[in-house]
Structure 1
Amino acid sequence: MDVKMKYYLVTILAAILIITASGCADLQTDINQPESILIHNKDITNSSSPDFHGNLLKGKFWKMTECQACHGPKYSGLTAPSCLTCHTTSFGPEACNTCHGSFTDPTRIAPPRSINNNSNTSDKGVGAHSKHLYDNTLGNQTSCFTCHNVPQSIYASGHFDTGLPAEVFLKELALANVANNAVYDPTAATCSNTYCHGNFVFYKNEAPAEDQFVFTADSMAGLNNTVDWTKVDGSQAACGSCHGLPPAGHIQVPLTACASCHGTVIDFNGNIIDKTRHINGIINVRQK
């Protein structure tokens, strides 16, 4: 190949490179930056938004297995961020108070807040939970197990594999004494025939001989009050609402005299001084 031919080839190649570079430069100015690809809506962490992930999970019956695909089996992050930044308890997002109870206090796992994010006691999912479990001033704190079959894991049978309302199976103190027919009516939201609201009978012939003088009949009985779960104004737990003052079958004495025999339970002003000895399934007399 002679020099002249080489010159032509070099010139042609140079022209091609210049044209190509110029064309690419023109094309680049027309290319927009790609938008970020989002798996979820941008409000997924906004608790006041309909797109909040809590609402998303509710629509999936709180099954979190899909979350683990991106957030990791322990929710500590994988291709998506860790959930444990907000869900700080040892169970992470699977903790009881993720869906009900106080999100900021893992010791308060019962409503309020209900599954439906309601905190009003008129809501059946809220009702008197706090009065029974946390703010009970008249007796021992009620356990979740007294009214529910408590699941051992989030996916245990009977947990959220059935629809609302939550099933109620009365046990323990609710069935004490003669209250084996205690029942909760989910439609009316009422508890009936429970020991804790007055379905009890104590028999004279079973009492110590030195205490039988207080009986005016063969037995003493409570009032067996049917209570409204959503009425939380104190009236259904007032002294005299579960048993008479004194109970039927007891000799007549004023409330201020109760402490004469029940001084470990109540003071002479009618105040409960040891709630562990009240509504506990037995009669606490003197130091018993």
Structure 2
Amino acid sequence: HGLPPAGHPAGDCARCHPTAAPGRAIAVPVAHVDGQVDVRLLGRDDCADCHAAGGRAAPAGSHTAHARFECTACHPVVDEPIADHLDGQSPVTLGFGEYAEGRCSQTACHGVGQPVWGAAGSVTGCDACHGAPPVGHSEGPCTQCHPPPTDARHVNGRVDLELPDTCDACHGAPPATGAHLAHAQPSAAAPVACDACHRVPAQVQAPGHLGPSPAEVVLVTGRYEAGTCVDTDCHAGPGAADPAPAWEDGPRRCGDCHGIPPPDHLRRPCEECHRAVAGAGYRIAVPARHADGQVDFR
């Protein structure tokens, strides 16, 4: 007979036939050619007896990379070891997604990725299976919100989050980008609260918070167009010289927002009439009372 017989899986005869010895030898001659085939049937839990186990190599491809998964995660349960299993068909039946030309696609474990089975290096990083960041996800290091992946917690059907509770865990409070510091920690005006320009979420996971950049700007008054603040109380008061400053421009001067002096105004030192806020030499003496929505006049 063939070695192996037609329609029979390849392998060491002694794995399944107790009359055979390793190396394709006859171990029990009296039980050989006696009109019956002696087979040691394998139970459902004995996959490792033939496949990868201990010092045995995996049968093919990328099995060792998936070894922590149960066999039934990818292969249908075998009801009849001989008829449905040891039929000589290779590759075996898969019970998930699509499997074409050696690629896994449309699977829960690899998402939109299409890794090549048996090709080392086809899955090299996070973005091989999902975006980094995924679509509609905020940017930043993954480990800010997700614990470092481990074999037991990665690709297990759930997303593990360890979200921080404070704003400054993800970005500065205030952020250092653009002109945030100039508004939140100004040298010549009262600090501007975050909710003056942004919808401040009640908690980190609030809907609309962890979205893609840039952050939504919702000015209480005025508009935000093409990187400029337009028609806002803080930059567009009476006599404004530049009512639409660009967000990332350099430091502003007194004459950038209103004239020195403003139109139809006496040409006198500011501190003579605005002593509560202005100092000598066009200096802001009391920043907390400057650009606060009212004119201090004395």
TM-score where L is the length of structure 1: 0.49
User: Relative to total residues, which structure has the larger helix share, 1 or 2?
Assistant: 1
Q: Which structure has the larger Rg? A: 2
Q: TM-score, normalised by structure 2?
A: 0.48
